[in-house]
Structure 1
């Protein structure tokens, strides 16, 4: 791989969707900066990628996207590594710790979720947009959620944070269109990641039922009757960043088995 190859930053790179996204961009010949909250985890992923794809140009970064100093440091590292950033893929996110009414939802929990899911994408955009080329090749792709399209009782922090991502994408798309930078998002539903499986196990334990019963209860609400594997989300992210989506901006692509129709 040469320095002429497109460069990509993937946040949340050690999670299920982030890992698949990083692998996809590396496989397609991109230089990829992989960022997540723990340096040891991104270092390990970098080694995996270099082993699987000999010659891969991978930059592991410790990054807390809710922290301005952390994002500033990452932007400087990327500037020194590649000079520019073709694609910013904002995958990192957190779930709300439990479903409770607003009257019982701690302010600190609301702020924690928003710090990562909404303030984080804003900070990333603010500091990385200056590195994105304005020749029509640059793009930003964020991971939202179908719960950002519709409100779900007991999950005020999560729903509003992801609704904010969808709105932020539209704001950025309008601001950056004349610069040739496209901005879009993907709205997953239940995706079969470790985070999703942990949520199912925790909820099953609370209700005193088996993991399989809880899984079937959740997945029965999906028209396609199963949770998509992480690669279906990374496929959508890659598509939105590619030339095949050259006339798409400000969009949120539903990749959720049809749950928005339910």
Structure 2
């Protein structure tokens, strides 16, 4: 077996996904980058190859919420590498702020299908490709909103609570195979998705983006939305030997917005 790990990152085209991908590239791992479109994957690959031109890289557009898409992804990875040592399941979506009575069924399904069903499908099809006996790891991305319900974000909160519970179930099931499964629970992270949400709220209130940003960031004890690299730090740690006795955990990276 090659000494290089095979690491698969979903949501690799987003802010957190690109940071996570770069972290594993720096470690010399072989990478499978997954996102919904080829364009976003090409941009992500261009970024990492600018620093690591010799990187062994597979790009696969896939929809993690769709069984056939994930099944095809698993087959491509099987043919390319024969195994996966680390699953970094970063892909996720937000919802439009809305009352439960006003959320469209389609949006509820979309949010839960990507955020929870996507983790389920990735585990279902990739756990059989993960070596047993130690060293293999799954890291999911939940949220501090998964630990408590918040008005106007019922779909998102429910989905991220589901990710935490599913992570714990997987950790229990896979412990006998020495495959560790943990979650990272971000607070507000300064990604484009976060800024888009701030802009949408600013537009709804008729105020400037900067004013909306300052209002929201003032709610964070550390005073800012976290850099995407802070999530990459946690993901990398949980999949490393330094976390060899950690499984079923949900690690808070939230700037102090929730203590538990």
TM category, shorter:
over 0.9
| Kept after mapping to 1: 8 A contact 2:138/2:182 | yes
Instruction: Give the C-alpha shift of residue 99 in structure 1.
Output: 1.5
Other structure's SS at 1:186 match: strand
State the match for 1:160 in structure 2: 158
Match of 1:239 in 2: 237
- Contact 1:61–1:74, Cα closer than 8 Å, also in 2: yes
Aligned match of 1:141? 139
Measure how far apart 1:49 and its partner are.
2.0
C-alpha displacement of 1:102: 1.0
C-alpha contact 1:50 1:58 (8 A) present in aligned 2: no
Measured after TM superposition, the shift of residue 184 of structure 1 is 0.2
Shift of 1:135: 1.9
1:20–1:230 CA contact under 8 A, matched in 2: yes
| 3-state DSSP of counterpart to 1:8 | strand
- Backbone CA RMSD of aligned residues: 1.2
Tell me how far 1:3 sits from its aligned partner: 4.1
Pick which of 50-59 and 122-131 moved more. 50-59
CA displacement 1:77-124 (0-9 Å, x = unmatched): 11111111000010000000x211111111111011001000110000
- Shift >3 Å, 4+ stretches: none
2:41 maps to 42
Partner of 2:75: 76
Query: How do 1:44-193 residues align onto structure 2 when only pairs under 5 Å count?
Result: 44-96=43-95, 98-193=96-191
Give TM-score, length-normalised by structure 2. Answer: 0.97
Aligned-partner SS, 1:191: coil
Q: TM-score, normalised by structure 1?
A: 0.97
- SS of 1:24's equivalent in the other structure is helix
Q: CA deviation at 1:195?
A: 0.6
* Stretches of structure 1 lacking an aligned partner (at least 5 in a row): none
1:202 to 200, 203, 207: 200
The residue aligned with 1:16 is 15
> Does structure 1 retain, via aligned residues, the 8 Å contact 2:13–2:43?
no
Instruction: Give the Å deviation of 1:130.
Output: 0.3
The count of aligned residue pairs is 260
Q: 1:228 aligns with which of 223, 226, 229?
A: 226
Report the Cα offset of residue 38 of structure 1: 0.3
